[in-house]
Amino acid sequence: LEEGLDPALFLRVHRSYIVNLGAIARIEAPTRDSWCAVLKDGKRVPVSRSGYARLKELMC
């Protein structure tokens, strides 16, 4: 499934989650070493350390 998605639009942020980058409203850090993506519809998706690093690369 992941291979068929446009990497400019979708990103694996956790081993269990692939998100549409356009659906992310913000990234929160509930604790020092954990992150979650808050989507525009209010859902929260966990973000792994490597997923956070990839997100930072894309957003900078």
User: Where are the domains positioned within the chain?
Assistant: 2-59
What 3-state DSSP class applies to 1? coil
User: Under CATH, which architecture does the 2-59 domain have?
Assistant: Beta Barrel (2.40)
Secondary structure of 2-58 as H, E, C letters? HHHCCCCCEEEEECCEEEEHHHEEEEEEEECCEEEEEECCCCEEEECHHHHHHHHHH
Summarised one tens digit per residue, pLDDT across range 1-59 is 789 999 999 999 999 999 999 999 999 998 888 999 999 999 999 999 999 999 999 88
- How high is the pLDDT of residue 30? 87
